[in-house]
Structure formats: structure tokens, C-alpha cells
Amino acid sequence: MTKYDVIDKFSDRRVVVVGDVMLDIYEIAEPAPDVYQFPVFSVIDTKHFLGGAGNVAANARSLGAEVYLFGETGSDMSGEKMDRLLKEGGIENKTSPCGVATTTKRLVVTGNGHTMRIDREDREPISHHMVEYILREIDEIGPEAMIIADYGKGVVTPELCRGIIERGKARGFPVFVDPKSDFGKFRGSTMIKPNRRELMEFCSVSPQDTLDRYCIDAFLVTADIDGMDLYTDTDHSHTPAFEKEPVNDVGAGDTVIATCALAVTSGASFEDAMEIASHAAAIAVRNEYVHAVTAEELEASLCECLVSS
């Protein structure tokens, strides 16, 4: 099976994404003409994008899959905006309103790039009742793959992870994880995708030893312009980054985990999935803002690489 055959199968996949949903708000600004003791910017435009688990879902949907998204949002204007973005993106919105504000990341962008970021969030763990609701809905949907997008905001609890991974084992669907916390709660998952910093923070032994300790099939470590490294119980392989001068790397990890999940579920080996995901990440980081990669863009990138090699 070629990589093109794999990508063609993306549209046949049914994927559930569970995790910390957030709204990315880009304030396009320019420095104010007056001089103050602190930086002052005048906003000239505002753009909104799905962030966190929402961006994972947006990438999976843009690549062609049928996507269901679970998480928590607030009953506020940011939550309403997120709901509209999910509808516009064709994503099945299974998020639940909670009693706190929607998680937001507000980035001030000037001619010099990202100047500052202001986060609004609540890290309270979700309730047992919420966990039961998500697991019950997963049973009804019958996914072909699960993606857990953990950003440490409270949705990805040990209880929820245990329920998802147990269902994956029992029903035969793979579970892919983008972790922001201790790898132990993802025991038994198919693939974990930390970046290099997260690997150093949460992994006290070698990646192969971690696979054995937590019964994980594959470890994919992303390292920005240094590419990606894949570890299994028997092998280690590397793929380069296909974009060495990124414009904006926000959300690239979301692109990688979404692409890997679809590729493996569509019949790709872990190594081929890593290479396909590296192409997807290259497309994402060439864009000024968060970008959901399409299957057409991905196939064009593969073709361009083949022609130039």
C-alpha cells in the first residue's frame, strides 16, 4: 500500500477526539504611537481558531475523516464562537458546557511575530458523571480510532483514560495520545506523541523502557526543525522536518497526532505514518496562523518530495 493509498482512505475513517478544548484568539496589532512605560498595541483585526483538542479535531476533519469532539466549554461568548467554528468545520460537537469560562489563548501578533499570550483557563478535573457520559457516547459512536488530546486543563483524567483504553482493547480500536502529563495514565495506548521537552519531563528512562513499562506500542517524539523520532519495542527510526524555516509552529503537534491516527487506522505502518505526519506538520508551520491541513495539500507535499528526490 502506498502513502497515497493511505491518504485516500482517510475519508472512510470515523474518529473520536477527547481532550481540552480551547479557543485561539489572534489579536493582529501594531504598536501605539504614544510612548508609555509599558508596551501598548492597537488591535487592527481579530481572528478566531479552534485550539487544543479542537485543533486536533479540525485537522482530522480537514483530512477527510468523520470526527466527534468531546470536552468542556463555558456558557460564554467564547463558547458560542467555538460552537460556530465546529459547525462550520463539519465536526460533530459533543462538548459539554461547564460552570467556568471557556479556555482561551489570546495571542498578540505584530510585525515581529507573537509578542505575548494571555491564557484564561480552569484546571478543575471533570466529574465522574462527565466521564460516564463521554464513555457512554463513545460506545454508541463506535469509533475506528480515538485521540486523547491532553493539555493539562482537567478533561483528561486517569479515570477517563482508563475507560477509553480499556474500550480500545476490548473493541479493537487504537488509542493515540498527545500528552501533557505523566505517561502512566496512558498505559496500554497505541501511540504516545510527546515533544522533546515533554519527553525529558515525564520520561525518566529510555523511550524503549518506557514502552515496556507502560505497555505502549509506539513512541513518536517531535523535535521541531530536527524532525521526529519513532521508537517501538524493536526499532528506532527518524524522519527529517520537511520545513526548516517555520512561520508559525502553533498547533503543529495537533496536526501530527491527527495525521498519525488516521494513517495508522488506514493501514500505514508506524514509520510510514510518521513520514506522512512530518509532511503534514511542514504544511501547517508554513502558515501564519493555526492551519488545518487537507488531504489534497498532503498528497501534493508527498508528490513534491518525490519529484525533488
Q: Could you say which of 20, 24, 150, 254 is catalytic?
A: 254
Nearest to 19 by CA among 166, 186, 199: 186
Residue 268 CB neighbours (<10 A): 24
Task: Please confirm, yes or no, whether 226 is among the known catalytic residues.
Answer: no
The residue behind cell 530536527 is 226
Grid coordinates belonging to 225: 526543525
The residue behind cell 515496556 is 212
Q: What are phi and psi of 54, to 5 degrees?
A: -65, -40
Q: At 2, which amino acid appears? A: T
Q: Which residues contact 281 (CB under 8 A, 6 or more apart)?
A: 222, 241, 242, 243, 252, 255, 256, 259
Number of H helices, E strands in the chain: 10, 15
Q: What are the b/e assignments for 194-227, b being 16+ CB within 10 Å?
A: bbeebbeebbeeebeebbeebebbbbbbbebeeb
The residue behind cell 491541513 is 293
- Give the strand order in the sheet containing 66-70: 92-93, 66-70, 14-19, 145-149, 175-178, 191-192, 218-222, 228-231, 236-239
Q: What DSSP state is assigned to residue 195?
A: B
How many residues are recorded in the chain? 309
Residue pair 180/148 in contact (Cβ under 8 Å)? The answer is no
- H/E segment holding residue 297: helix 295-308
Give me the active site residues, please: 254
